Structure 1
Amino acid sequence: MSVVLIAGSPGSLSRTSALIDFINKELQEQGIETDVFNVNEFDGNEVFFADFNAPQIVRYREAIAKADAVVLATPVYQASFSGALKLLLDLIPERGLKGKVVLPLANGGSDSHLLVIDYALKPVLSALGASNVLGGVYVNAKQLTLDGEKRYQVGEEASARISRSLEELIETLPSQSSASASAYQRSVAYA
């Protein structure tokens, strides 16, 4: 099983990246193969002009094509998802998310943007062929705190909600055995 994780924040140290790092660690602890793409690691010109021959874009598109699931996170900008994430989504071929389980996440400064996943992000994912888009998780900025090394940490309440969504993701994947899903449920219960 393969899961692609996409961090849609242009900042190198961001709450969005912290969410993806948290999820990546959780999935890898379960022995799930992950491939992480952070929008700030792409060459801006290659993404903006959709240079499909650029090595990073080729690798990204190949990873999406072979993935069983895609997890993406975005900061909220102007009551929607980031334009940087939209540029990465534009690199996915038409119907490129067909047959994949998709878990969207968003983080914003207040709960006023709680519905950004449903009203802004899910329609775009549907246009890319995603028919199995999970409920998603919205994380308020207060649930992500800086540690002593100036890195964001996911708070207890947010990590519990994300873990429940990951459990659903694992259960939904057709190639995932029920034994692995049960093992993940037990590890989440004891965390």
Structure 2
Amino acid sequence: VGAVATVCTTGMIYASLKPIAQWHSRFTLPGYLIFSAMTGGVLFNALLQGFGGGSRAVLAFALVLTLLGWGWKLATWRHNDELEIPTTANTATGLAGGTVRSLEWPHTEENYLLKEMGFRIARKHSAKLRRITQALAFALPALLLAGAFVLTWPAAAVLSVIAALLQLAGMLVERWLFFAEAKHTVTLYYGR
């Protein structure tokens, strides 16, 4: 119960942040719930399989959740790619008429806000990182879980553990992209 509450709270916090349109959407909270159930199901399956107590129902549940998570992530990316973000320097400052621009840049070098919220390099490579996420978090674990479904122990256990490890790596990339692809309003101050 505590883990579910933590996931819901975290998802609701990100979804409530209006300055970040990619997070302030109907996809954020369900995504957190689906991904937590998906990764938990795959890990639970790996543990059961690893200790020789594998359950076909848990395995099937993990596979279905992985496919659901993949579909949800694709829908989220599609939604975020189609967003028209109306925020400009004018709307962020509340000044109408003319074009708001800085006469002097706020800093002469990178600072915390630009390092943590600028993510220009990540956006440049987002297509490649999305493919890596899809392969590691969804496609390969789904294939391995399907293979485990038709094999017996210990081969099913090996495939299940590999699926859990790959999914962990893929979800780390996915979480990093979640932050990196978001366009933070604060970067308008820096002309980005």
Higher Cα Rg, which structure: 2
**Whose helix proportion is higher, 1 or 2?**
2
TM-score (norm 2): 0.28
**Whose strand proportion is higher, 1 or 2?**
1
TM-score (norm 1): 0.28
Higher relative contact order (CA 8 A, sep 6+): 2
